[in-house]
Structure 1
Amino acid sequence: MPCCVGRAVARRIASLFCLSTLFVTVFASPGQAADQAIEAALQSIAAADQETIGDSATTAAVETLSVLPSTQIKVVLDGFGPATVRGRNWLRAVAADVADNGPFPTEPLNAYFADRQADADARYLAYQLLVANDPSRQAVLLGDAETDPSLPVRYLKIQALIDQADAVRKDQPDAAIETLTRVVANARSPKQLQTAAKTLKALGKPVDLAETLGMMRSFQLIGPFDNTGSKHFDTAYLPENQYLESGDPVRLGADGKPLTEEGKLGPIAWQLIISEDQLGMVDINEPLENAKDSVAYLFAKFDVLSPLPEGDCQMRIGCINASKVWVNGKLVSANEVYHSGTRIDQYIDSCRLQATGNTVLIKVLQNAQTQPWAQDWQFQFRLTRPDGSALKTDIK
């Protein structure tokens, strides 16, 4: 019964969408009616989610847009901006249909791809459509894409550079080194960076990838605090409260030295932890003796040595455990997920930085699972510009 009711409601919404389009058609001028119907369809697709209730309405919107002439391909691409993930998937299919509705829209797609301020996903789609229509265009389109803000486009160019360097590394090692140096400067994929670093090392030019990525590897650490039953994600222990109140989680005694705190198993002290990992992985297990059902806090004061962008920066954390991150006193990331995998830049959130006097507090929680795959208690953390380029920091 609920399923039938859901389908009935969905059909009703689709009918209302069609009626609204008809209303626009009847009471507006032909040009206005067409524009308003297209806008209504774009809004419907942009709001698409996983609920069954919206399927029929979205399908009706797709049918409205899919018959647009190829000259209006930009209208569809512009719809990416406010669209949900599912809405973007619909728009990809619509754009492919529209590109076939008349002469292939080479010029509009070229112009859209050339606009680096346009939506990154839409630009990548424009690239895909152009190359599918004329594969010989690929090299031209990727000409300077090693700095492209669309990461899929940049990835393709970086891979081409890696392949180029590999082809000449034996006969022209200096040329290979020059090309791979460009890769290290501009790549955002850890695998591509590792490939480039491995080859550079073989050519006698080793690089520090953690430094290149801007990984923060030095922190003050305290723990373990209690996380029995994984129930303390939102429990604010003393270092957290101290940080939110004063900007510094470390309480100092009369002698200026850090005070001990009461932890899960008794008094605990702050300790310095420095990662030597090539990709900046900070391992909490060793200093906290593989504690289970536990909470750890890590803190750093730092200046930013790189030029800051106007507006927001980004904090990027990869963590296989549950985690929270505060930057300059503001909670910017919260992910209550345990042992579901990890990668560099797994979670990306905006934050505000200044040239000097910044702070970061990271809360990392471990659960009680005893399986071998659930033993990691670690993270990778870095700060970047919105395009993913690293901000170099000086830990104080």
Structure 2
Amino acid sequence: MQLMLVAISIPVSITEMRYCLLITFCAFALTPAGQAEPSPDLSEQIAIIQAVGTEGMGNREAAAAFQKLSQEKPTSLLPLLRAVESSNAIARNWLRSAIEVIAERATAAGHPLPLNALRDFLSDREQSPEARRLTFELMLAIDRDATEGMIPSFIDDPSNELRRDAVAQILGKAKKQLADSDEAAAKTYQIALDAARDVDQIQEIAKAFTEMGLELDLPRHFGFLTNWKVVGPFHNLERAGFAEKFAPEENFKLDATYTGKESEVAWQPLSTSDPYGKVDLNKPYGKLKEVTAYAYHEFDSEKNQEVELRLGCKNAWKLWLNGELIFGRDEYHRGQRIDQYKMPVKLQKGSNSILLKLCQNEQKQDWTVQWEFQLRVCDSTGAAILATNRPDANSSQ
């Protein structure tokens, strides 16, 4: 009895694609070896996978290429892993599945995987973080003890996927120390904090600091901007405010007075002490609806540098850096979280102006009351980049 693959359904979602990959592999694996097509050129099949696009473009060809890649030898793992870096998100999913199938087939057949080559790839920090994480998981299946022994070296890794494991080990050590010495535990938690990039781990550390009676400046650690100038409210009738260019967009002056929604408005200071940098526009203006406001911050950079502006906001917004529109979202109340939007930008040495436009709509349900945002400046790993003009934690400015 044999199972032959006659047709392949085109996946339209990640879940369906994984199902399709599984069916495809099973069908091919059960086909007699004598009827399988000859092994194709590896780079050609990778190129077919990398050509896949959105809305099903190239999926049929990618599925056929996946079948062929699934029959490759373990020596093909390294070229496939290297291909992840230059692939789009959909192609990466195909490549990851092919890598996993090849490794599973080899392991089931008792064929060795190239452990030394995989270790070298994992140690190369220039490779794709996603591919390095997958390599780490493959190595765990080969030699768990030796692979876990590499985890401490990930403490400063540019890949957050690997760094997280190193931080988790340190957190485990700190928890054990709590039973004997808060002082020793605090030092270990500080090491974890300096290395941590994931919000949940930082929150765990912050909770431990609080329970030990220690202070932790979370806004500074994250790089949240806490001191702003704001002006408003302007109108947002029928949600038209997002597109309309109000005076601060065309005639920006901190000493200017503008015609607002109901009266003359001027810039005023607004600061926040929220540990996660949330700036609440309801505080100066009240819980208004169908309104627009602007927030301004001046960030002094010690040098020309590439950074990320990371915003969390559940209202419609636009952001300008040094007068250039960076990005915007015209949607409302779809949730807010830290690092919700990541915008790579270049800061110039010296002063940099950050202008935010924030629109509140007409909805009146309790969950639509929030009119707020949180913005931080960091590097690509999430480590805070602080302005040279940032006030001290105890400053009232």
TM-score bracket, normalised by the shorter chain, equals 0.7 to 0.9
| Alignment correspondent of 2:75 | 71
The one-letter code matched in structure 2 to 1:351 is V
If the length of structure 2 is used for normalisation, what is the TM-score? 0.82
CA 1:259 to 1:311, structure 2 compared with 1: closer, same or farther past 3 Å? closer
In the alignment, what sits opposite 2:42? Answer: 38
Which whole-Å CA distance do the structure 2 matches of 1:241 and 1:344 have between them? Answer: 30
Q: Structure 1: which 5+ runs fail to align?
A: 1-6, 11-32, 243-248, 252-257
Q: 1:34 offset after TM fit, Å?
A: 7.7
Aligned partner letter, 2:318: K
Q: 1:138 to 1:175 in 2, by over 3 A?
A: farther
Q: In the alignment, what sits opposite 1:29?
A: none
Q: Does 1:293 align with 2:297?
A: no
Of residues 243, 246, 250 in structure 1, which corresponds to 2:253?
A: 250
Tell me the number of residue pairs that the alignment of Structure 1 and Structure 2 aligns. Answer: 352
Q: Letter of the 1:46 partner, please give it.
A: Q
Amino acid aligned to 1:67: Q
CA distance in 2, matches of 1:337, 1:40: 42
Cα distance, 1:210 vs structure 2: 0.7
Do the aligned partners of 1:73 and 1:108 also contact (CA within 8 Å) in 2? no
Alignment correspondent of 2:266: 269
Cα 1:58–1:207, aligned 2, differ >3 Å: closer, same or farther?
Answer: same
Question: Which residue in the other structure is 2:212 paired with?
Answer: 203
d(CA) in 2 for partners of 1:284 and 1:44? 50
Q: Which residue of 2 aligns with 1:21?
A: none
The amino acid that maps onto 2:63 is T
Q: CA deviation at 1:50?
A: 4.0
Structure 2 unaligned regions, length at least 5: 1-8, 13-37, 392-397
Matches within 5 A, 1:213-224: 213-224=222-233
Which residues of 2 match residues 168-247 of structure 1 at below 5 A? 168-242=177-251
Q: Give the secondary structure class of the aligned counterpart of 1:316.
A: strand
Residues 352-387 of structure 1, C-alpha deviations (whole Å, 9 max, x = no match): 113311111111121111111121111111111222
1:230-379 equivalences under 5 Å are 230-242=239-251, 249-250=252-253, 258-304=255-301, 312-379=306-373
TM-score, normalisation: structure 1: 0.83
Q: Equivalent residues in 2 for 1:41-120 (5 A)? A: 41-99=45-103, 100-101=105-106, 102-120=111-129
Contact kept, 8 Å, 2:224 with 2:376, in 1: the verdict is yes
**Deviation at residue 97 of structure 1 after TM alignment:** 1.8
**Deviation at 1:88?**
1.4
Identity of aligned residues (%): 30
SS at match of 1:363: strand
Secondary structure of 1:40's aligned partner: helix
Could you list the runs of 4 or more consecutive aligned residues of structure 1 that deviate by over 3 angstroms after TM superposition? none
Amino acid at match of 1:189: D
Q: How far off its partner does 1:331 sit?
A: 2.0
**Which digits, 9 at most, give the CA deviation of each residue in 1:6-38, with x for residues without a partner?**
x89x9xxxxxxxxxxxxxxxxxxxxxx988x43
